Structure 1
Amino acid sequence: MLPEQEQVNRLAETRRFLVGKTNLMPEIGIILGSGLGGFASLIDEKTVIPYKEIPHFPISTVEGHAGQLVFGKVSGKSVVAMQGRFHYYEGYNMQEVTYPVRVMQVLGATGLIVTNASGGINPAYRPGDLVLIRDHINLMGENPLRGANLSSLGPRFPDLSEAYDLEWRQKVLPLAQELGITPQEGIYAALSGPSYESPAEIRYLRTIGADLVGMSTVPEVIVANHGGMRVLGISCVTNMAAGILPQKLSHAEVIETTERIEKLFVRFMQALLRVL
């Protein structure tokens, strides 16, 4: 864990680099989960910057993640989209996992749309469903705010009683119905991965109130809230979690499902950006 001043210095260096690459300063940051990166093709007036060129950025190693920042405009909003996120299971620490959210904050973004591919625990869900995240359960065994507090960005003890913005969810749910998407909200449980959960773990998660399970999102949302960003979370149910159905789990199924619903996801994202 880096001291506060070193974190601040790194963020300033990254910001200087990005400002030198684009004149567009984002209102909203977007994190695109596994297989959902095709949304970036909609971005107009775009500037694409590979992660490997950005000072202090980690490199995404997961299939289905392009590994680049895309600046531009969608539905009249200035955005910066991450095509590929960083995961705790890749070996990065939590400061590295959430570094892009910090960068969005110092660039001036006040909102974050975070998407993911998840396993469905709620038996009402089906693969291909898009679910708004209402709340989360952090079972990753770590918190991204541990260590020195970035006091210039947020308080030592941030409130998470409305981690996923209620007003935004209320605006977006009717849009889902207009697009033929069943309007659903759920609670997302985050585990460290990379192994999928066992059937016993899924029974436990269902007992404590989880509807969805995955290996991302929660650290980013915690850091976004710490920095005062409004957050909207969208989960694509790519498979039913272990033990819900009599089948094995695979990352190939995740990619296959997201490819199948990608056009619907893109339409949904376009529509919601118009109303946020």
Structure 2
Amino acid sequence: MDSLQEKLKETTEFIKSKGIGNVEFGLILGSGLGELAEEIEDAQTITYDQIPHFPVSTVTGHAGQLVYGTLAGKRVLAMQGRFHYYEGYSMQTVTYPVRVMAALKAHSLIVTNAAGGVNLDFTPGDLMLITDHINFMGSNPLFGANIDELGPRFPDMSEAYRLSYRTKAKEVAERQNIHLKEGIYMGFSGPTYETPAEVRFARTAGADAVGMSTVPEVIVACHSGLNVLGISCVTNLAAGMQKSLDHKEVVATTERVKIDFKTLVKETLKAL
């Protein structure tokens, strides 16, 4: 079997052969948030099924393609749809696109997700700047032998979400009159939504929102030396806080707040 480095070389050479060159920012666009990629100028698109060693997203609301071009004056490589641990992929497979972004010399990653609100002050449609995360997914993408050329054996996670980027995002939100919450994201494996008891546990542990993504990608981004900005769209209140939970509601809520979301990401990109 090819090593990770050999796979990365094959993947990046294929992507470059499609005309994708310098990348400054990687973007991971979560459920219902992929429309932002449609605003990328001079866009070049590659579907995941074309890319060597890439998995394929199976979730509604995830287009399943890379989009490269210019957004807010920055060269970006956006994932319209991500991969999840609950789809049966290994943690290493889930995070492979972040490895690819680092191999393409991106210096930063903006990661977004749809999340369930745990904080009692949150309401569906809130945007939350991620200040930190709790890994409760039962695994870690860095398990196994470390490849020193890709990152350190024991990465420092004390500022996984870069403070200076969060400060810029808050300044942008204030200028644009966007109501931006801040909080801690807790990652569960899924695919079941959390139980009411798990939500009470998450709140006690210090979480403000829960979800089934983001944490693995951010761990690998930190391992790879990327600066990270994370934004959650609180699409529903978590179990026990509203009558029932449905993925259709997730997509509908992101549709409702998409203008504020897109403005926040674009104007923050411009400011970074």
State the TM-score bracket (shorter-chain normalisation).
over 0.9
Corresponding residue number in structure 2 for 1:249: 245
Question: TM-score, normalized by length of structure 2?
Answer: 0.98
Which residue of 2 is the match for residue 10 of structure 1? 7
SS in 2 for 1:146: coil
Residue 37 of structure 1 corresponds to which residue in structure 2? 34
SS in 1 for 2:145: coil
Matching residue of 2:65: 68
- Look up the match of 2:167: 170
- Matched with 2:125 is 128
Deviation of 1:208 (Å): 0.7
Match of 2:266 in 1: 270
1:30 aligned partner, one-letter code: L
Look up the equivalent residue of 2:259 and give its one-letter code.
K
Partners in 2 of 1:173 and 1:107 — Cα distance?
29
| Alignment partners' CA distance in 1, 2:262 and 2:196 | 32
2:232 corresponds to 1:235: yes
- Contact 2:25/2:109 (8 A) holds in 1: yes
Give deviations 1:4-37, integer Å, cap 9, x for gaps: x700000000010001001432100000000000
Runs of 4+ displaced beyond 4 Å: none
Counterpart code for 2:171: P
Higher alpha-carbon deviation: 264-273 or 207-216: 264-273
Deviates more, 1:128-137 or 1:15-24: 15-24
Any residues of structure 2 matched to 1:45-56 within 5 Å, and which?
45-56=42-53
Aligned counterpart, 1:194: 191
Q: Does 1:146 align with 2:143?
A: yes
Name whichever of 122-131 and 31-40 sits farther off. Answer: 122-131
Shift of 1:183: 2.9
Does the 8 Å CA contact 2:20/2:44 hold for their aligned counterparts?
no
- Structure 1 residue ranges without an equivalent (≥5): none
Q: Normalising by the residue count of structure 1, what TM-score does the alignment of the two structures yield?
A: 0.97
CA distance in 2, matches of 1:135, 1:94: 20
Q: CA RMSD in A?
A: 1.0
The letter for the 1-side match of 2:264 is F
Provide the aligned length of Structure 1 versus Structure 2: 272
CA deviation vs aligned residue, 1:92-138 (integer Å, no higher than 9, x gap): 00010000000000000010000000000001111111110000000
Question: In structure 2, how many angstroms separate the alpha carbons of the residues matched to 1:62 and 1:19?
Answer: 27
Q: Distance in 1 between matches of 2:174 and 2:24?
A: 26
Question: 1:261 is matched by which residue type in structure 2?
Answer: V
